[in-house]
C-alpha cells in the first residue's frame, strides 16, 4: 500500500498523553514503561495498520513493507491525529487511534480513503531516534 495514506497533504484516559476529544480517541493496546516518552520534534519510527471505521477495510500498513514509517512528530509531516496521538508514548507501546475526518483528510479523498472518513490506526512506536530504549 502507499505511505501517502498516512502523510499529510497541505492505558486509561487518566494517564498523561491520552487524548479523548471530538477529533481523536486514543486507546493503549499494549503499555510500555520508559524514562523518555515521545515529544514534539522527535524523529520516531512507527509501525501501523490503517483501516476505515465505516467497513473495517485496510487501506495501508507498514508491516507488509517490513519497515516502520519514520517522521518528525508534531511538525505537520503527517495527519494531525498522528501528530497528537503519538505524543507521550514509550517505545514498544501500541495504541489504537480513532481519528475524525477533521484531524485526518477532511473532505478530500486520498487514494483508497473516501472523503470524510473516520480512520483507525493500530500504531506501534518502534523507536525514538537518538534515544536508547530503557531497560525494564
Would you name the residues annotated as active-site residues? 48, 59-60, 79, 105, 121
Kindly report the CA angle at 85 between 110 and 88, in degrees rounded to 5? 150
Confidence category of residue 60, pLDDT binned at 50, 70, 90? very high
Mean of all residue pLDDT scores within the chain: 87
Q: Round to whole Å and give the CA distance between 25 and 117.
A: 15
Domains of the chain: 3-128 (3.10.50.40)
Extract the runs of DSSP E, i.e. beta strands, from 16-57. 24-30, 43-52
| Residue 136 predicted with pLDDT over 60 | no
Q: Round to whole Å and give the CA distance between 32 and 100.
A: 26
Question: How large is the average pLDDT for residues 41-65?
Answer: 97
Candidates 67, 103, 107, 109; CA nearest to 84 is 103
Assign 59 to helix, strand or coil: strand
For the chain, state the CA radius of gyration.
14
| Residue 39 predicted with pLDDT over 70 | yes
pLDDT at 11: 33
Listed range (2-6, 64-68, 107-111, 116-120) with the worst mean pLDDT: 2-6
Model pTM score: 0.84
pLDDT at 36: 94
Q: Model confidence over 74-88: pLDDT tens digits?
A: 999 999 999 999 999
Amino acid at each position: 500500500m502507499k505511505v501517502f495514506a498516512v502523510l499529510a497533504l497541505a492505558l486509561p484516559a487518566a494517564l498523561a498523553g491520552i487524548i479523548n476529544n471530538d477529533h481523536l480517541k486514543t486507546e493503549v493496546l499494549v503499555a510500555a514503561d520508559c524514562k523518555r516518552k515521545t515529544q514534539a520534534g522527535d524523529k520516531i519510527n512507527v509501525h501501523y495498520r490503517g483501516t476505515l471505521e465505516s467497513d473495517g477495510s485496510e487501506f495501508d500498513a507498514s508491516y507488509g513493507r517490513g519497515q516502520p514509517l519514520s517522521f518528525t512528530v508534531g511538525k505537520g509531516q503527517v495527519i494531525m491525529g498522528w501528530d497528537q496521538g503519538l505524543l507521550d508514548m514509550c517505545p514498544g507501546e501500541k495504541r489504537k487511534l480513532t481519528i475524525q475526518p477533521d484531524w485526518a483528510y477532511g473532505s478530500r479523498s486520498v487514494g483508497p480513503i473516501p472523503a470524510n472518513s473516520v480512520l483507525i490506526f493500530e500504531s506501534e512506536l518502534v523507536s525514538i531516534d537518538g534515544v536508547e530504549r530503557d531497560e525494564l
